[in-house]
Amino acid sequence: MFRLLFLVLLTAFPARADLFNERTFTLSNGMKVIVVENRRAPVVTHMIWYKTGSIDDPAGKSGVAHLLEHMMFKGTKTVPDGEFSKIVARNGGEENAFTSYDYTAYYQNIARDRLELVMFLESDRMKNLRFDERDFAPELEVVREERLMRTENNPSALLAEKRNAALWGEHPYGRPVIGFRQELPTLTPADIRAFYKKHYTPDNAILVVAGDIDADELKPLAEKYYGRIPPSRKAVAKRQFPISVPAKTKIEFSHPLAHVRTVSRTFPAPSYTGDGNPYAYAVLAEVLDAEPSGPMHAKLTETKKATAVSAYYNGFALDKGSFTLFAAAADGTDLTDIEAVFDKGFSIRRKDVEKAKKRLVSGMEFLTDDPQTTANVLGKAAVLGLDASVLEQWPEKIAAVTLEDVRAAWKKLMSSPFVTTFLTPEKKQ
């Protein structure tokens, strides 16, 4: 789901300046509010985006931001443990949350006439969350089990941790969002409480509501439920990320649960929030990833070296982005043969660039039909410091990318440090 949403964020914007028709206002406590009216159905998506994620985990305490996300469902003095989700469900809604490196978000999809209910629930846990040891211990165990299932028993996830550590070094992007296995047992209720008090404040949050409501209707509700929460009143220090300059590294990893042999190569790349030309990297990924005409498919799948290939650009990040090449090796192919293809590189043709640009700006005319997608797109951009105008100019920026831009992006990647990974099944003794 989230990969699809990310692709929508990258590719889905028709070339018109009034795509969202969003309205914004700021409460007296500093909380930004974004409203997108959509009267197609009597439903709304209500999202709170906090400008914090695992990048803010204290040193040696990886996993704090993610564990706090779990604790947010443990109750307050008003709403008992476990009742948040039950109340939303009883009222016909659905809800969830997610933590990333750069942000944490909570959302509810619900009928318009139940919006005030979820605003009460969400604002209540923004200021009144409970941190009892009886709640903390079992939830920490849940997270440890989650890591066991999703990471320890997933060879690709374990290898991704090793890759990120090599690629980013001391940068927070080098730590897993869920936390390192050896650090999770050291977390305490005091760690979670301190993180909550520092980061879960209205002036560090963005409220996005999309659906059957307009700004004039929402504003008094926002003031009633969120406007009364005191801000942190502390100056927010600008994050200073450590500079990561990885060497060209290869990681070979075997695991008994691995069933497919794979090769990947990941480079640091410019992001949409930094310098450089991120639009050229978006087009480059589309060129390389194109099936069946793309150069990766021509050199790897058509030659029977690989059964699947892909290129992926992640440019929506507070600091640097990343660019990844991936191939699943065919039987009989030595992984070094695929590595050699990556080393040699790919030819970028004008006709492929033009086709890629057209694909990137077409076919998604109904983005704003779905309030949840709209709220996700606008919220993710806003929490990274990008406003809707950046998104609405995206097709224009893509259209302006030239063959020379794409070739320059590829040349820069090829001369940059990168991490190559080999994943293989563990040989039976």
User: DSSP assignment of 140-205, as one string?
Assistant: HHHHHHHHIIIIIT-HHHHHHHHHHHHHHTTSGGGS-TT--TTTGGG--HHHHHHHHHHH-SGGGE
Token pair in block for residue 381: 């951009």
Inter-residue contact 247 to 417 (CB < 8 Å): yes
How far is residue 380's CA from residue 385's CA, in Å, rounded to a whole number? 9
Backbone angles phi, psi at 25, to 5 degrees: -150, 165
How far is residue 363's CA from residue 367's CA, in Å, rounded to a whole number? 10
H or E element, residue 220: helix 215-225
How far is residue 419's CA from residue 241's CA, in Å, rounded to a whole number? 20
Burial 275-293 (b: 16+ CB within 10 A, else e): ebbbbbbbbbbbbbbbeee
H or E element, residue 358: helix 350-360
How far is residue 180's CA from residue 58's CA, in Å, rounded to a whole number? 13
Token pair in block for residue 20: 């969202």
Residue 212, C-beta contacts closer than 8 angstroms, at least 6 positions apart: 37, 38, 39, 41, 42, 43, 44, 112
Residue 27, C-beta contacts closer than 8 angstroms, at least 6 positions apart: 33, 202, 222, 223, 226, 227
How far is residue 5's CA from residue 373's CA, in Å, rounded to a whole number? 7
H or E element, residue 329: strand 321-329
Q: Which 3 state secondary structure label does DSSP give 137?
A: helix
How far is residue 177's CA from residue 49's CA, in Å, rounded to a whole number? 17
- The residues assigned a catalytic role are 69
For residue 104, list its beta bridge partners. 50, 99
Q: Which 3 state secondary structure label does DSSP give 284?
A: helix
Q: What value, to the nearest 5°, has the Cα angle with vertex 77 and ends 75 and 78?
A: 85
